[in-house]
């Protein structure tokens, strides 16, 4: 019973995990992608293609809570310790992997390093990140070396450890920001904001609620070519050690209304025979045939029993398969 209480306290409002002791500081370790022994298979309308276990001896590696694609065949993952990981998309000729500390972060103070969300403008290369504890949105220039930030007053009351967990820069210039949890501990929904433009440029956002199906929490978000967005959801499954469930839903920003409730429809759940993990990062890669590839990365919480996994899925958004239209509870 005491152990269970300890686990609950360790999780906190937003799912913060207890961590294994950090290894002796090392910045010389490279990145290795070990293919998973899992065959391609269909999960409803989505097909799992392949997966990898990402490994590195670098002490800065791990804890990835967000994922975006860059314009040069690489991914950028952000960690809750304030580090970025840039690495080539598997199967491409892009080079190379790199881990660096982002501007305006302090890896020894979680209040200044807990990045939970990323989004990017493909036109300028600018990157926006959402930080918990401070409930700030930080804008990075394309080199990731210079940044500015804003703490929107509409986010001041958001939970310190359950703040801007998902952020999406829409193709029309607007931004959606979703909190992970409700500051009042409501289990059915959490706050959301729709900014008319760059949050750092001012403009009054539309406040709404995001319906959280089945106790899941939004942990990342990315826009599809047709204007809809995919939202990655995560839920803790209590046990010793605890486990995780993950779900991806489809939602339409056109249905966001001031003070309204925004929800989506289930696309697929991750479960057996695929390994389950604490998936917190989602990126979309449009294909020439109209399909999209979905990429998911997991947060290992720097715990020895967890892994940093990378999954690739294929989906044709033009087809409505059986079960795709299920509305969350």
pLDDT digits (tens, 9 = 90+) for 122-146: 999 999 999 998 999 999 999 888 8
What pLDDT is attached to residue 305?
85
What pLDDT is attached to residue 320?
66
* Residue 234 C-beta-side C-alpha neighbours within 13 Å: 30
Please, are residues 66 and 77 in contact by the beta-carbon 8 Å criterion? yes
Give me the architecture of the 2-315 domain, per CATH.
6 Propeller (2.120)
Cα–Cα nearest to 224, from 253, 255, 200, 266: 253
Question: What is the C-alpha to C-alpha distance for residues 62 and 246, in angstroms, rounded to an integer?
Answer: 19
Residue 183 CB partners (closer than 8 Å, separation 6+): 157, 158, 159, 162, 191
Classify residue 2 by its DSSP letter.
H
What pLDDT is attached to residue 280?
96
Please, are residues 82 and 101 in contact by the beta-carbon 8 Å criterion? yes
Query: What percentage of the chain's residues is helix, strand, coil (to nearest 5)?
Result: 10, 45, 50
Residue 23 CB partners (closer than 8 Å, separation 6+): 59
- Token pair, residue 268, equals 């697929």
Query: Could you give the angle at the alpha carbon of 253 between the alpha carbons of 248 and 254, nearest 5°?
Result: 140
Domains of the chain, by residue range, sit at 2-315
For residue 4, pLDDT over 70 is answered with no
Question: What is the C-alpha to C-alpha distance for residues 147 and 84, in angstroms, rounded to an integer?
Answer: 14
pLDDT more than 90, % of the chain: 65
- Token pair, residue 171, equals 């193709």
DSSP E strands in 238-318: the ranges are: 243-251, 261-262, 265-270, 279-286, 292-298, 308-315
Q: How confident is the model at residue 324 (pLDDT cuts 50, 70, 90)?
A: very low
The residue-averaged pLDDT of 9-33 equals 52
For residue 21, pLDDT over 70 is answered with no
Strand order in the sheet with 217-223: 217-223, 229-237, 243-251, 265-270
Q: Report the 3 state secondary structure along 174-232.
A: CEEEEECCCCCCCCCEEEEEEECCCHHHCCCCEEEEEECHHHCEEEEEEECCCCCEEEE
Question: What is the C-alpha to C-alpha distance for residues 83 and 230, in angstroms, rounded to an integer?
Answer: 25
Question: What is the C-alpha to C-alpha distance for residues 43 and 271, in angstroms, rounded to an integer?
Answer: 9
Cα–Cα nearest to 136, from 124, 148, 145: 148
Q: What is the model's pTM?
A: 0.88
Q: How confident is the model at residue 322 (pLDDT cuts 50, 70, 90)?
A: very low
What pLDDT is attached to residue 84?
92
């Amino acid at each position: 019973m005491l152990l269970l209480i300890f686990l609950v306290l360790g999780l906190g409002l937003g799912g913060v995990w207890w961590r294994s002791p950090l290894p002796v500081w090392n910045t010389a370790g490279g990145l290795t992608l070990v293919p998973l022994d899992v065959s391609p298979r269909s999960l409803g309308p989505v097909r799992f293609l392949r997966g990898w276990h990402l490994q590195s001896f670098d002490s800065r590696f791990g804890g990835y809570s967000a994922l975006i694609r860059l314009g040069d065949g690489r991914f950028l993952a952000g960690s809750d310790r304030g580090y970025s990981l840039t690495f080539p998309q598997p199967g491409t000729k892009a080079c190379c992997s790199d881990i660096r500390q982002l501007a305006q972060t302090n890896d020894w103070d979680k209040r200044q390093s807990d990045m939970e969300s990323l989004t990017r403008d493909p036109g300028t290369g600018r990157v926006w990140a959402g930080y918990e504890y401070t409930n700030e949105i930080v804008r990075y220039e394309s080199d990731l070396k210079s940044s500015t930030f804003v703490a929107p007053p509409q986010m001041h009351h958001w939970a310190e450890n359950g703040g801007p967990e998902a952020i999406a820069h829409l193709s029309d210039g607007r931004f959606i920001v979703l909190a992970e949890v409700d500051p009042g501990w409501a289990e059915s929904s959490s706050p959301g904001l729709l900014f008319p433009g760059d949050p750092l440029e001012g403009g009054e956002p539309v406040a709404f609620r995001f319906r959280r199906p089945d106790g899941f929490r939004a942990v990342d978000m990315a826009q599809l070519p047709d204007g809809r967005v995919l939202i990655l959801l995560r839920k803790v499954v209590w046990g010793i050690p605890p486990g995780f469930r993950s779900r991806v839903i489809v939602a339409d920003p056109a249905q966001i209304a001031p003070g309204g409730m925004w929800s989506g429809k289930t696309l697929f759940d991750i479960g057996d025979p695929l390994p389950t993990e604490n998936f917190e990062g989602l990126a979309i890669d449009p294909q020439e045939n109209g399909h999209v590839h979905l990429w998911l990365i997991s947060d290992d919480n720097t715990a020895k029993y967890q892994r940093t996994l990378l999954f690739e899925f294929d989906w044709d958004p033009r087809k409505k398969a059986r079960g795709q239209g299920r509305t969350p509870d």
